[in-house]
A and B are shown apart, each in its own frame.
Chain A
Amino acid sequence: TQLLEQSPQFLSIQEGENLTVYCNSSSVFSSLQWYRQEPGEGPVLLVTVVTGGEVKKLKRLTFQFGDARKDSSLHITAAQPGDTGLYLCAGSQGAQKLVFGQGTRLTINP
């Protein structure tokens, strides 16, 4: 059983479209992180959200932490081919360890 469920697992859209990726759990997390991974490389941290209801923006990417701190979403506006990659959410429950979702493989077609 996956502690963090990401959806969709695969997403292929055209350049310029908007998209949202979801990360859901029945457990409460003290923080939620989003990573992006490119082929042949390790994941790289994009953002951390720590407060219920928190919204953070990183250029065209908007991250939100659910009010109950059990879920998060990543919204990309006007997607570009450079956004292509594997997006991973990860939750912390305060024990210096992270639990990862299965990942969302995003492809942006020119």
Chain B
Amino acid sequence: DAGITQSPRHKVTETGTPVTLRCHQTENHRYMYWYRQDPGHGLRLIHYSYGVKDTDKGEVSDGYSVSRSKTEDFLLTLESATSSQTSVYFCAISEFGQTENYGYTFGSGTRLTVV
């Protein structure tokens, strides 16, 4: 059983349209994160959440928003998709106080193409 699932796995969208990616966890972890992965840049943090309705920005948050209305779900929205947002998006989870020693558990990613 996967403790974290992302949907959709693949999406192609047009420039200027809104897009929402979903991350669902069954581990009841407090922390959830959205990263994007691009060649030469590794994983860069977009937004993260430290509880229901508690979110904060990461290093590449422009053009993205997030929401967390339930512990298990963390949504990432591209308000008006641009070609520079073509990327692979990963969700990750972690329990409070455990990131340092136990790291993250990642989802399988969503490959987003903006045309």
Contacts and interface: CB of A to CB of B under 8 A. Distances in A.
Interface of A: 2, 4, 6, 9, 30-31, 33, 35, 40-45, 48, 50, 88, 90, 92, 94, 96-103
A3 to B, nearest CB: 10
Nearest to B44: A100
A48 B101 contact: yes
B74 interface: no
Given A9-B40, A100-B43, A103-B42, A48 B106 contact: no
A67 B42 CA distance: 25
A30 B100 contact: yes
A92 B43 contact: no
Given A31-B100, A92-B99, A100-B43, 17 more contacts: A4-B42, A33-B103, A35-B103, A42-B108, A43-B104, A45-B102, A45-B103, A48-B100, A50-B100, A94-B100, A97-B58, A98-B103, A100-B44, A102-B40, A102-B41, A102-B42, A103-B42
A61 to B, nearest CB: 16
Contacts of B94: 96
Contact of A92 (B31, B41, B100, B106): B100
Contacts of B42: 2, 4, 6, 88, 100-103
Given A42-B90, A102-B41, A90 B109 contact: no
B99 A96 contact: yes
A35 B92 CA distance: 13
A40 B108 contact: yes
Given A9-B40, A42-B92, A97 B45 contact: yes
Contacts of A31: 100-101
A110 B50 CA distance: 45
Contacts of A101: 42
A65 B44 CA distance: 23
